[in-house]
Chains A and B, each alone.
Chain A
Amino acid sequence: MPLELSGLTKTYGKDGSGFKLWPVDFTIETGEFFCLLGPSGCGKTTVLRLIGGFETPTGGKITLNQKDITRLPPHKRNLHTVFQRYALFPHLSIFENVAFSLRLKKVGRTEINVRVLEALRLVQIEDLKDRQTHQISGGQAQRVALARALVDRPEVLLLDEPLSALDPELRVKMREELKALCKKVGLTFIMVTHDQEEALQLSDRMAVMREGQCLQVGTPKTIYEDPVDPFVARFIGQVNEINGELFGDSPETYSLQSPLGIFRVKKNGHALTKRLNLILRPEKMRLLRQRSQVQENLIEGSICDLTYLGSRTEYTVKVKDTTFKVFEQELERLKKRKLNVGDNVYLTWRTEDAILLNTPHD
């Protein structure tokens, strides 16, 4: 029972001068944990609010389970929203907060009791049922909000930055629990976040957005390893970039001409224009002390900074007037550091690890 967004748009401001959400198209499968990721102001919350029914789209369609829900009010959509600051009702106890939707539906007293306790048990806060909302912690409030949204068994749960109000330690713990909860209840979870780590850890698939546009939809691995836009590459993880122009192509590879030299990149089916960005992930680059026999994909530079982080060491290498980040795994326990600040090094990478993308016009 998928949730489909087709050509969904939203324009704010009477003359269209305000924020604009460009047509968004994607399908979210049942039981999927789907993240909407992007910096603030990218429109991810707008998309969530459109799905939730708190905003009316300017154009396009939303269907849930083949049923058009584009213009239905929130409660007729068979989905619930967990708000950023939980929006628990301060005048009601935890139990009554969770029971709110059931009471409105005039569900019988005994059934309410059973279902509320079941929902509270699901998020492991059964013993808090008689507390008031001001007597619980942020993490507990988060669980109450989840229980309240789950109690009347929606098909989809919408989460608006649910972890952003928690302290970092709790946030990481709640991530695992959210993921487990999603799989346990078998519902579709759609979560808005600006935290790329959160999105990578939680998502089955995610959509990366910027300035009202959905740039790419895919699994965390696709988004990280095969970004379609330099912005996506930069937003998820770290990147080194080399700007250049298309120089030539052979059946297997393209060549890129740049101020740092000519580099070969494996063809991947993207249609290329003239101006290109070569994207290299720091952990996919190698540092060599001496110039090796390999002649291609080699840049000379010098180490200007290094940080030992236990499992890896992060090097900053200066090449002409740009710098490169290189992460090297510390694979052997007693290896002496062979590189120091100031050392001359050669940077290299495997041809298939480089990503070649069109330089955006803006």
Chain B
Amino acid sequence: MEPQSKSSKPIPATALVFIGWLFLMTFLPFLIILGMSFLERTPLGTISFHFSFDNYLRSFQYIYIKVLFKTVWLAFMATVSCLLIGFPVAYHLARSRGWMKQLGLILLFIPFWTNFILRIYGLVALLGNHGLINQLLMQLRLIHSPLEILYTRTGVYVGLLYNYLPFLVVPIFSSLEKLDPSLREAAFDLGANRFQVFWKVVVPNIKEGVFIGSLFVFIPMLGEYVIPDLLGGAKEAFLGNVMVSQFFVMQDWPFGSAIAGILSLLLLFTLWLQTRWSRFGNLKDGGNHA
């Protein structure tokens, strides 16, 4: 039924507008960057049209590989942290009723009413040596010298957690919401304790939502540039920051493009993982009608 309708239906005009937009604003720039990554930089900082793989070979230098692994590792750890904090939040949100639930969801999304950059600067004001948190802790005489949070890895973590947490809470929340409450009751009825209900019934049925939600935050974290830039300082650069500095500081556009290419490859790989997972989910559903 599906393939037929796909091949016979003409693409509507509104979709063409969208496809055109996507092509002009996303696909074309990407192609330009991809093309540029195979070119060379002249000593003057301009681009010479010589085809070469040099930029990619350069990317495999120790210093860049280190940044790549650090980026993946930090994004991974931040995702795990998001999961550890976000799961209980989603769980309680899904189990609360009435206005408590409404309030929880609103609180979760209130930060998004403020501009992203402003929010990050807000964190700078909170976390800095003369920031609110350090001032308060010192006033209370809990610490003698300010805690080093801003411009450290911790600062980057805090920023990533703060910004990405809702994106993980929501998919987990919605998969918990979809879980039939009588499944929990049935498990209790059949002799499971709270712990067993959670691990033997709740978790197996929402793990797909948890996995997809995790990729949802992991993928954009890989490409993150603003948060490490503003909260991490020079030492805690992500691959995104290295890429940007190649473009705008070193004026080496072809090399920057190569890094962008590698980053894109990484994103495509995780996206592929995600689609593979969700297609597996669809297949399971598809069996329903067979």
Contacts and interface: CB of A to CB of B under 8 A. Distances in A.
B26 interface: no
Contacts of A85: 180, 182
B196 A104 contact: yes
A87 B191 contact: no
A90 interface: yes
Contacts of B200: 100
Contacts of B191: 75, 101, 104-105, 152
Contacts of A134: 284-285, 287-288
Interface stretch (A76-84, A198-206, A262-270, A317-325): A76-84
B204 A91 contact: yes
Contacts of A342: none
A87 B182 contact: yes
A83 B190 contact: no
A210 interface: no
A73 interface: yes
A101 B201 CA distance: 12
A75 B288 contact: no
A335 to B, nearest CB: 52
B182 A84 contact: yes
B271 interface: no
B284 A81 contact: no
Interface string B189-225: 1111000100011001100000000000000000000
A132 B204 CA distance: 14
B271 to A, nearest CB: 25
A197 B185 CA distance: 29
A80 B204 contact: no
Given A83-B182, A104-B196, A74 B288 contact: no
Contacts of B186: 81, 83, 87, 89, 148
B67 interface: no
Given A54-B185, A83-B182, A100 B288 contact: no
B120 interface: no
A135 interface: yes
Contacts of A104: 190-192, 196
B190 A101 contact: yes
B187 interface: yes
A244 interface: no
A87 B205 contact: no
Nearest to B190: A101
B183 interface: yes
B27 interface: no
A73 B287 contact: no
B188 A75 contact: yes
Contacts of A84: 182
Contacts of B182: 83-85, 87
A82 B191 CA distance: 14
A105 B190 CA distance: 10
A52 B205 contact: no
Q: Chain A: interface residue count, which band? A: 20 to 34
A83 B201 CA distance: 16
Contacts of B183: 87, 89
Contact of B188 (A74, A90, A132, A135): A74
A89 B201 contact: yes
Nearest to B183: A87
Contacts of B204: 89, 91
Interface in A314-353: none
Contacts of A148: 186, 190
Contact of B192 (A52, A75, A135): A75
Interface string A88-126: 011100000000110011000000000000000000000
A233 B204 CA distance: 49
B190 A90 contact: no
B205 A135 contact: no
Contacts of B196: 104
B128 to A, nearest CB: 46
A285 B285 CA distance: 56
A75 B185 CA distance: 10
Contacts of A54: 185, 188-189
A91 B175 CA distance: 14
Nearest to B206: A91
A100 B191 CA distance: 9
A83 B185 contact: yes
Interface string B236-256: 000000000000000000000
B189 A80 contact: yes
Nearest to A154: B189
Interface centre among A81, A105, A132 (most CB of B within 10 A): A81
Given A134-B285, A134-B288, A135-B287, A87 B188 contact: no
13 contacts: A53-B189, A54-B185, A73-B188, A75-B188, A75-B190, A81-B185, A83-B185, A87-B185, A91-B205, A101-B191, A134-B284, A148-B186, A152-B190
Interface of A: 52-54, 73-75, 80-81, 83-85, 87, 89-91, 100-101, 104-105, 132, 134-135, 148, 152
Given A87-B182, A89-B205, A148-B186, 9 more contacts: A54-B185, A75-B189, A75-B190, A81-B186, A100-B192, A104-B196, A132-B284, A134-B285, A152-B191
10 smallest beta-carbon distances between A and B, as pairs: A101-B190, A87-B186, A87-B182, A75-B191, A91-B204, A83-B182, A74-B189, A104-B191, A134-B288, A101-B191
